[in-house]
Structure 1
Protein backbone atom coordinates (compact mmCIF):
# COMPACT_ATOMS: atom_id res chain seq x y z
CA UNK A 1 0.00 0.00 0.00
CA UNK A 2 1.37 3.43 -0.95
CA UNK A 3 1.87 6.10 1.66
CA UNK A 4 -0.70 8.84 2.12
CA UNK A 5 0.31 12.17 3.62
CA UNK A 6 -1.89 14.94 4.99
CA UNK A 7 -0.68 18.39 6.01
CA UNK A 8 -2.76 19.63 8.95
CA UNK A 9 -2.56 23.40 9.51
CA UNK A 10 -3.49 24.73 12.95
CA UNK A 11 -4.91 28.28 13.13
CA UNK A 12 -5.45 30.41 16.20
CA UNK A 13 -4.16 32.90 18.74
CA UNK A 14 -1.44 31.97 21.23
CA UNK A 15 -2.66 30.02 24.27
CA UNK A 16 -5.74 28.58 22.54
CA UNK A 17 -4.61 24.95 22.88
CA UNK A 18 -2.91 24.17 19.55
CA UNK A 19 0.16 22.51 21.05
CA UNK A 20 -1.94 20.76 23.71
CA UNK A 21 -4.12 19.39 20.91
CA UNK A 22 -1.01 18.22 19.02
CA UNK A 23 0.28 16.39 22.11
CA UNK A 24 -3.14 14.78 22.50
CA UNK A 25 -2.91 13.38 18.98
CA UNK A 26 0.68 12.25 19.58
CA UNK A 27 -0.31 10.23 22.64
CA UNK A 28 -3.59 8.91 21.28
CA UNK A 29 -3.62 5.10 21.63
CA UNK A 30 -4.31 3.18 18.43
CA UNK A 31 -4.51 6.31 16.29
CA UNK A 32 -5.73 5.60 12.72
CA UNK A 33 -2.67 7.37 11.30
CA UNK A 34 0.95 8.18 12.12
CA UNK A 35 1.43 11.61 13.71
CA UNK A 36 4.34 13.98 13.03
CA UNK A 37 4.32 17.22 15.01
CA UNK A 38 6.25 20.20 13.67
CA UNK A 39 6.10 23.00 16.25
CA UNK A 40 7.16 26.29 14.66
CA UNK A 41 8.26 27.71 18.03
CA UNK A 42 11.06 25.14 18.06
CA UNK A 43 12.48 26.66 14.87
CA UNK A 44 11.73 30.39 15.19
CA UNK A 45 14.18 32.63 17.02
CA UNK A 46 13.22 36.04 18.40
CA UNK A 47 15.37 38.81 16.96
CA UNK A 48 16.54 41.61 19.25
CA UNK A 49 16.48 44.35 16.60
CA UNK A 50 13.02 44.93 15.14
CA UNK A 51 14.42 46.41 11.92
CA UNK A 52 15.90 43.11 10.80
CA UNK A 53 13.41 40.92 12.67
CA UNK A 54 10.70 40.90 9.96
CA UNK A 55 13.09 39.85 7.21
CA UNK A 56 14.79 37.24 9.40
CA UNK A 57 11.36 35.96 10.48
CA UNK A 58 10.40 35.40 6.82
CA UNK A 59 13.68 33.55 6.22
CA UNK A 60 13.07 31.31 9.20
CA UNK A 61 9.55 30.52 8.02
CA UNK A 62 10.93 29.70 4.57
CA UNK A 63 13.33 27.26 6.23
CA UNK A 64 10.41 25.57 7.96
CA UNK A 65 8.63 25.18 4.62
CA UNK A 66 11.80 23.56 3.27
CA UNK A 67 11.78 21.12 6.20
CA UNK A 68 8.17 20.19 5.43
CA UNK A 69 8.95 19.58 1.76
CA UNK A 70 12.00 17.49 2.68
CA UNK A 71 9.91 15.52 5.15
CA UNK A 72 7.29 14.74 2.51
CA UNK A 73 9.93 13.68 -0.01
CA UNK A 74 11.65 11.42 2.51
CA UNK A 75 8.38 9.77 3.51
CA UNK A 76 7.40 9.14 -0.09
CA UNK A 77 10.79 7.91 -1.26
CA UNK A 78 11.61 5.50 1.58
CA UNK A 79 10.25 2.01 2.12
CA UNK A 80 6.83 1.40 3.59
CA UNK A 81 8.25 1.18 7.10
CA UNK A 82 6.97 4.03 9.26
CA UNK A 83 10.34 5.42 10.22
CA UNK A 84 11.79 8.91 9.98
CA UNK A 85 15.31 9.43 8.62
CA UNK A 86 17.80 10.22 11.38
CA UNK A 87 18.47 13.75 10.08
CA UNK A 88 14.78 14.63 10.55
CA UNK A 89 14.12 12.99 13.91
CA UNK A 90 15.51 15.95 15.86
CA UNK A 91 13.34 18.46 13.96
CA UNK A 92 9.94 17.00 14.80
CA UNK A 93 8.11 14.89 17.37
CA UNK A 94 6.42 11.76 16.12
CA UNK A 95 4.26 8.79 17.02
CA UNK A 96 4.71 6.11 14.37
CA UNK A 97 3.27 2.65 13.76
CA UNK A 98 5.00 0.43 11.21
CA UNK A 99 1.63 -1.12 10.31
CA UNK A 100 0.17 2.21 9.14
CA UNK A 101 0.94 4.04 5.88
CA UNK A 102 -1.01 7.24 6.60
CA UNK A 103 1.02 10.19 7.92
CA UNK A 104 -0.49 13.30 9.49
CA UNK A 105 1.99 16.21 9.54
CA UNK A 106 0.83 18.85 12.05
CA UNK A 107 1.98 22.41 11.30
CA UNK A 108 1.66 23.89 14.77
CA UNK A 109 1.71 27.67 14.40
CA UNK A 110 -0.67 30.64 14.66
CA UNK A 111 -1.00 30.85 10.84
CA UNK A 112 -3.04 34.02 11.26
CA UNK A 113 -2.48 35.25 7.70
CA UNK A 114 -4.20 33.37 4.91
CA UNK A 115 -1.03 33.68 2.83
CA UNK A 116 0.85 31.59 5.43
CA UNK A 117 -1.69 28.81 5.05
CA UNK A 118 -1.84 29.05 1.28
CA UNK A 119 1.88 28.33 1.01
CA UNK A 120 1.29 25.03 2.79
CA UNK A 121 -1.65 24.32 0.50
CA UNK A 122 0.63 24.94 -2.49
CA UNK A 123 3.11 22.42 -1.12
CA UNK A 124 0.30 19.88 -0.92
CA UNK A 125 -0.65 20.62 -4.51
CA UNK A 126 2.94 20.28 -5.67
CA UNK A 127 3.57 17.07 -3.71
CA UNK A 128 0.10 15.55 -4.26
CA UNK A 129 -0.74 15.45 -0.55
CA UNK A 130 -3.98 16.01 1.32
CA UNK A 131 -4.64 19.31 3.09
CA UNK A 132 -6.71 20.15 6.18
CA UNK A 133 -7.14 23.03 8.62
CA UNK A 134 -8.33 23.24 12.22
CA UNK A 135 -9.32 26.69 13.43
CA UNK A 136 -9.07 27.10 17.22
CA UNK A 137 -11.78 29.70 17.65
CA UNK A 138 -11.31 31.71 20.84
CA UNK A 139 -12.04 35.23 22.05
CA UNK A 140 -8.97 37.39 22.66
CA UNK A 141 -9.60 37.95 26.37
CA UNK A 142 -9.68 34.22 27.11
CA UNK A 143 -6.43 33.72 25.16
CA UNK A 144 -4.83 36.50 27.23
CA UNK A 145 -6.03 34.94 30.50
CA UNK A 146 -4.62 31.55 29.53
CA UNK A 147 -1.38 33.15 28.40
CA UNK A 148 -1.02 34.91 31.77
CA UNK A 149 -1.37 31.55 33.50
CA UNK A 150 1.61 30.18 31.59
CA UNK A 151 5.16 30.13 32.88
CA UNK A 152 7.41 33.06 32.03
CA UNK A 153 9.27 30.98 29.44
CA UNK A 154 6.07 29.95 27.62
CA UNK A 155 4.04 33.17 27.75
CA UNK A 156 4.10 35.83 25.04
CA UNK A 157 3.67 39.60 25.48
CA UNK A 158 0.01 40.62 25.67
CA UNK A 159 0.43 43.18 22.87
CA UNK A 160 1.41 40.38 20.50
CA UNK A 161 -1.86 38.55 21.17
CA UNK A 162 -3.82 41.78 20.72
CA UNK A 163 -2.08 42.61 17.46
CA UNK A 164 -2.50 39.07 16.18
CA UNK A 165 -6.22 39.13 17.05
CA UNK A 166 -6.61 42.24 14.89
CA UNK A 167 -4.83 40.64 11.95
CA UNK A 168 -6.18 37.11 12.20
CA UNK A 169 -7.78 36.12 8.90
CA UNK A 170 -10.27 33.41 9.77
CA UNK A 171 -10.83 30.61 7.25
CA UNK A 172 -13.41 31.59 4.64
CA UNK A 173 -14.38 28.46 2.65
CA UNK A 174 -17.00 30.39 0.68
CA UNK A 175 -14.60 32.95 -0.81
CA UNK A 176 -11.51 30.74 -0.62
CA UNK A 177 -12.41 27.33 -2.00
CA UNK A 178 -9.05 25.85 -1.01
CA UNK A 179 -9.99 26.41 2.67
CA UNK A 180 -13.11 24.25 2.38
CA UNK A 181 -11.57 21.36 4.33
CA UNK A 182 -11.62 23.21 7.67
CA UNK A 183 -12.71 21.96 11.09
CA UNK A 184 -13.91 24.65 13.51
CA UNK A 185 -12.87 23.80 17.04
CA UNK A 186 -14.28 25.70 20.01
CA UNK A 187 -11.07 26.46 21.91
CA UNK A 188 -12.99 27.42 25.05
CA UNK A 189 -13.34 23.69 25.73
CA UNK A 190 -9.88 22.14 26.04
CA UNK A 191 -11.09 18.61 26.83
CA UNK A 192 -10.40 17.18 23.38
CA UNK A 193 -11.59 13.70 24.29
CA UNK A 194 -15.14 15.03 23.85
CA UNK A 195 -14.34 15.87 20.23
CA UNK A 196 -12.36 12.68 19.62
CA UNK A 197 -14.80 11.04 17.24
CA UNK A 198 -15.50 14.19 15.22
CA UNK A 199 -11.84 15.15 14.85
CA UNK A 200 -10.67 11.67 13.93
CA UNK A 201 -13.44 11.19 11.36
CA UNK A 202 -12.60 14.58 9.84
CA UNK A 203 -8.87 13.81 9.61
CA UNK A 204 -9.33 10.23 8.40
CA UNK A 205 -11.53 11.38 5.51
CA UNK A 206 -8.97 13.99 4.51
CA UNK A 207 -6.46 11.33 3.47
CA UNK A 208 -8.82 10.33 0.66
CA UNK A 209 -8.51 13.68 -1.13
CA UNK A 210 -5.04 14.49 -2.40
CA UNK A 211 -4.61 17.93 -3.94
CA UNK A 212 -3.78 17.63 -7.64
CA UNK A 213 -1.15 19.82 -9.36
CA UNK A 214 -2.41 22.70 -11.48
CA UNK A 215 -2.55 22.21 -15.23
CA UNK A 216 -1.02 24.80 -17.59
CA UNK A 217 -4.53 25.98 -18.42
CA UNK A 218 -5.29 26.58 -14.74
CA UNK A 219 -2.03 28.52 -14.31
CA UNK A 220 -2.80 30.75 -17.26
CA UNK A 221 -6.25 31.45 -15.85
CA UNK A 222 -5.10 32.24 -12.29
CA UNK A 223 -1.95 34.26 -13.03
CA UNK A 224 -2.54 37.76 -14.31
CA UNK A 225 0.10 39.90 -15.99
CA UNK A 226 2.93 41.36 -13.91
CA UNK A 227 1.54 44.86 -14.40
CA UNK A 228 -1.91 43.78 -13.25
CA UNK A 229 -0.65 42.12 -10.06
CA UNK A 230 1.66 45.03 -9.19
CA UNK A 231 -1.24 47.43 -9.74
CA UNK A 232 -3.46 45.43 -7.35
CA UNK A 233 -0.68 45.39 -4.77
CA UNK A 234 -0.22 49.14 -5.18
CA UNK A 235 -3.91 49.69 -4.44
CA UNK A 236 -3.68 47.60 -1.27
CA UNK A 237 -0.57 49.45 -0.12
CA UNK A 238 -2.21 52.82 -0.70
CA UNK A 239 -5.28 51.72 1.27
CA UNK A 240 -3.10 50.52 4.13
CA UNK A 241 -1.23 53.84 4.21
CA UNK A 242 -4.56 55.65 4.41
CA UNK A 243 -5.66 53.46 7.31
CA UNK A 244 -2.40 54.06 9.18
CA UNK A 245 -2.61 57.82 8.75
CA UNK A 246 -6.28 57.92 9.75
CA UNK A 247 -5.62 55.89 12.91
CA UNK A 248 -2.63 58.05 13.87
CA UNK A 249 -3.20 60.55 16.67
CA UNK A 250 -0.54 63.06 15.60
CA UNK A 251 -1.72 66.65 15.99
CA UNK A 252 1.35 68.12 14.31
CA UNK A 253 0.67 68.43 10.57
CA UNK A 254 4.38 68.40 9.76
CA UNK A 255 4.94 65.17 11.68
CA UNK A 256 1.93 63.59 9.98
CA UNK A 257 3.26 64.61 6.57
CA UNK A 258 6.66 63.17 7.53
CA UNK A 259 5.02 59.85 8.34
CA UNK A 260 3.07 59.93 5.07
CA UNK A 261 6.27 60.54 3.10
CA UNK A 262 8.01 57.68 4.90
CA UNK A 263 5.16 55.26 4.15
CA UNK A 264 5.02 56.32 0.50
CA UNK A 265 8.77 55.73 0.19
CA UNK A 266 8.30 52.24 1.65
CA UNK A 267 5.44 51.62 -0.81
CA UNK A 268 7.63 52.51 -3.77
CA UNK A 269 10.43 50.31 -2.45
CA UNK A 270 8.11 47.34 -2.02
CA UNK A 271 6.67 47.73 -5.52
CA UNK A 272 10.17 47.98 -6.98
CA UNK A 273 11.24 44.80 -5.14
CA UNK A 274 8.19 42.97 -6.50
CA UNK A 275 8.95 44.06 -10.07
CA UNK A 276 12.56 42.89 -9.71
CA UNK A 277 11.38 39.56 -8.31
CA UNK A 278 8.99 39.10 -11.23
CA UNK A 279 11.71 39.84 -13.79
CA UNK A 280 14.25 37.61 -12.05
CA UNK A 281 11.97 34.61 -11.58
CA UNK A 282 9.87 35.21 -14.68
CA UNK A 283 6.73 34.71 -12.59
CA UNK A 284 4.06 36.88 -11.09
CA UNK A 285 3.42 37.39 -7.38
CA UNK A 286 0.31 35.52 -6.34
CA UNK A 287 -2.58 37.24 -4.63
CA UNK A 288 -1.94 35.05 -1.60
CA UNK A 289 1.38 36.85 -1.04
CA UNK A 290 -0.13 40.34 -0.97
CA UNK A 291 -0.56 40.44 2.81
CA UNK A 292 3.12 39.70 3.34
CA UNK A 293 4.10 42.78 1.35
CA UNK A 294 1.45 44.97 2.93
CA UNK A 295 2.78 43.86 6.32
CA UNK A 296 6.14 45.49 5.53
CA UNK A 297 4.44 48.90 5.97
CA UNK A 298 3.74 48.26 9.67
Structure 2
Protein backbone atom coordinates (compact mmCIF):
# COMPACT_ATOMS: atom_id res chain seq x y z
CA UNK A 1 0.00 0.00 0.00
CA UNK A 2 1.29 3.45 -0.90
CA UNK A 3 0.55 6.82 0.64
CA UNK A 4 -1.46 9.13 -1.61
CA UNK A 5 0.34 12.30 -0.48
CA UNK A 6 3.32 13.30 1.54
CA UNK A 7 2.76 14.61 5.09
CA UNK A 8 4.41 16.06 8.19
CA UNK A 9 4.98 14.26 11.48
CA UNK A 10 5.66 16.52 14.44
CA UNK A 11 7.45 14.86 17.34
CA UNK A 12 7.04 16.53 20.69
CA UNK A 13 8.57 15.78 24.07
CA UNK A 14 11.21 16.81 26.53
CA UNK A 15 14.87 17.12 25.52
CA UNK A 16 16.61 13.73 25.85
CA UNK A 17 13.26 11.91 25.75
CA UNK A 18 14.25 9.71 22.81
CA UNK A 19 12.70 11.75 20.00
CA UNK A 20 15.69 11.41 17.67
CA UNK A 21 15.93 7.66 18.22
CA UNK A 22 12.19 7.38 17.58
CA UNK A 23 12.48 9.58 14.47
CA UNK A 24 15.08 7.31 12.88
CA UNK A 25 13.09 4.16 13.71
CA UNK A 26 9.93 5.76 12.32
CA UNK A 27 11.74 6.81 9.14
CA UNK A 28 12.95 3.26 8.62
CA UNK A 29 9.46 1.87 9.18
CA UNK A 30 7.86 4.33 6.73
CA UNK A 31 10.49 3.48 4.10
CA UNK A 32 9.83 -0.24 4.62
CA UNK A 33 6.10 0.43 4.19
CA UNK A 34 6.29 2.47 0.99
CA UNK A 35 8.74 3.48 -1.72
CA UNK A 36 7.05 6.48 -3.31
CA UNK A 37 8.20 9.19 -0.88
CA UNK A 38 11.58 10.03 0.53
CA UNK A 39 11.54 10.64 4.30
CA UNK A 40 13.54 13.55 5.71
CA UNK A 41 14.18 14.21 9.40
CA UNK A 42 14.57 17.90 10.22
CA UNK A 43 16.51 18.53 13.43
CA UNK A 44 16.90 22.17 14.50
CA UNK A 45 20.02 21.21 16.46
CA UNK A 46 21.70 20.52 13.12
CA UNK A 47 20.43 23.83 11.72
CA UNK A 48 21.74 25.60 14.84
CA UNK A 49 25.11 23.87 14.50
CA UNK A 50 25.32 24.76 10.80
CA UNK A 51 24.43 28.43 11.39
CA UNK A 52 26.33 29.07 14.61
CA UNK A 53 28.48 26.02 15.30
CA UNK A 54 26.91 25.95 18.75
CA UNK A 55 24.25 24.50 20.98
CA UNK A 56 21.09 26.23 22.19
CA UNK A 57 21.36 29.97 22.77
CA UNK A 58 18.17 31.95 23.53
CA UNK A 59 19.28 35.02 21.56
CA UNK A 60 19.74 32.95 18.38
CA UNK A 61 16.60 30.84 18.60
CA UNK A 62 14.32 33.10 16.60
CA UNK A 63 16.58 32.74 13.55
CA UNK A 64 17.01 28.99 14.08
CA UNK A 65 13.24 28.58 14.39
CA UNK A 66 12.64 30.59 11.19
CA UNK A 67 15.19 28.53 9.22
CA UNK A 68 13.71 25.32 10.63
CA UNK A 69 10.21 26.23 9.43
CA UNK A 70 11.52 27.33 6.02
CA UNK A 71 13.38 24.04 5.61
CA UNK A 72 10.32 21.99 6.56
CA UNK A 73 8.11 23.86 4.11
CA UNK A 74 10.70 23.59 1.32
CA UNK A 75 11.02 19.82 1.75
CA UNK A 76 7.26 19.32 1.91
CA UNK A 77 6.98 21.27 -1.36
CA UNK A 78 9.49 18.80 -2.82
CA UNK A 79 6.88 16.10 -2.20
CA UNK A 80 8.78 14.39 0.61
CA UNK A 81 7.59 13.15 4.00
CA UNK A 82 9.01 15.25 6.85
CA UNK A 83 9.59 14.28 10.47
CA UNK A 84 10.12 17.35 12.68
CA UNK A 85 12.58 16.21 15.36
CA UNK A 86 12.26 19.10 17.79
CA UNK A 87 10.81 19.52 21.26
CA UNK A 88 7.78 21.23 19.67
CA UNK A 89 6.65 21.47 23.26
CA UNK A 90 4.77 24.74 23.06
CA UNK A 91 1.48 24.86 21.18
CA UNK A 92 2.74 27.86 19.20
CA UNK A 93 5.54 25.70 17.76
CA UNK A 94 3.09 23.02 16.67
CA UNK A 95 0.68 25.66 15.35
CA UNK A 96 3.34 27.01 12.95
CA UNK A 97 3.86 23.51 11.57
CA UNK A 98 0.12 22.93 11.25
CA UNK A 99 -0.25 26.19 9.31
CA UNK A 100 2.39 25.06 6.81
CA UNK A 101 0.44 21.86 6.22
CA UNK A 102 -2.83 23.73 5.86
CA UNK A 103 -1.29 26.03 3.23
CA UNK A 104 0.04 23.02 1.33
CA UNK A 105 -3.11 20.94 1.86
CA UNK A 106 -1.16 18.16 3.58
CA UNK A 107 -1.85 15.98 6.60
CA UNK A 108 -0.24 16.89 9.92
CA UNK A 109 0.37 14.35 12.67
CA UNK A 110 1.65 14.86 16.22
CA UNK A 111 3.41 12.12 18.17
CA UNK A 112 4.08 12.85 21.83
CA UNK A 113 7.12 11.07 23.28
CA UNK A 114 6.10 10.61 26.90
CA UNK A 115 9.33 9.81 28.72
CA UNK A 116 9.47 10.41 32.49
CA UNK A 117 11.58 13.43 33.41
CA UNK A 118 13.86 11.27 35.58
CA UNK A 119 14.71 9.13 32.55
CA UNK A 120 15.27 12.23 30.39
CA UNK A 121 17.75 13.56 32.96
CA UNK A 122 19.59 10.21 33.00
CA UNK A 123 19.69 9.99 29.19
CA UNK A 124 20.84 13.61 28.99
CA UNK A 125 23.96 12.74 30.98
CA UNK A 126 25.01 10.02 28.53
CA UNK A 127 24.23 11.77 25.25
CA UNK A 128 26.96 13.29 23.10
CA UNK A 129 25.80 16.87 23.53
CA UNK A 130 24.10 17.12 26.89
CA UNK A 131 22.26 20.26 27.88
CA UNK A 132 21.88 21.78 31.36
CA UNK A 133 19.40 19.74 33.42
CA UNK A 134 17.56 22.96 34.29
CA UNK A 135 16.43 23.31 30.66
CA UNK A 136 14.77 19.91 30.82
CA UNK A 137 13.23 20.50 34.24
CA UNK A 138 11.91 23.97 33.37
CA UNK A 139 10.09 22.89 30.21
The match for 1:17 is: 18
The match for 2:6 is: 5
The 8 Å contact of residues 44 and 86 in structure 2, kept in 1 or not, is answered as yes
Correspondence 1:106 to 2:107: no
State the structure with bigger RCO (CA 8 A, min sep 6), 1 or 2.
2
User: C-alpha offsets along residues 255-281 of structure 1, whole Å, 9 cap, x if unaligned?
Assistant: xxxxxxxxxxxxxxxxxxxxxxxxxxx
* 1:55 to 1:8, Cα distance in 2 relative to 1, 3 A: same
**How many residues of Structure 1 are paired with residues of Structure 2 in the alignment?**
132
* 1:73 to 1:27, Cα distance in 2 relative to 1, 3 A: closer
Please list every run of at least 4 consecutive aligned residues from structure 1 whose deviation after the TM superposition is greater than 4 angstroms: 45-48
TM-score, normalised to structure 1's length? 0.40
SS at match of 2:98: helix
Correspondence 1:38 to 2:38: no
The 8 Å contact of residues 7 and 76 in structure 2, kept in 1 or not, is answered as no
SS at match of 2:113: strand
Structure 2, unmatched stretches of 5+, are none
Distance, in Å, in 2 between the alignment partners of 1:58 and 1:38 is 16
Distance, in Å, in 2 between the alignment partners of 1:74 and 1:139 is 36
Task: Report deviation, 1:145.
Answer: 1.0
Correspondence 1:130 to 2:107: yes
SS at match of 1:44: helix
Distance, in Å, in 2 between the alignment partners of 1:162 and 1:72 is 33
Correspondence 1:60 to 2:61: no
Distance, in Å, in 1 between the alignment partners of 2:38 and 2:53 is 34
Q: Which has the larger radius of gyration?
A: 1
Task: Report deviation, 1:70.
Answer: 1.5
The match for 1:160 is: 135
Task: Report deviation, 1:31.
Answer: 2.2
Task: Report deviation, 1:108.
Answer: 0.2
Task: Report deviation, 1:21.
Answer: 0.9
TM-score, normalised to structure 2's length? 0.82
Report the RMSD for the aligned CA atoms in angstroms: 2.6
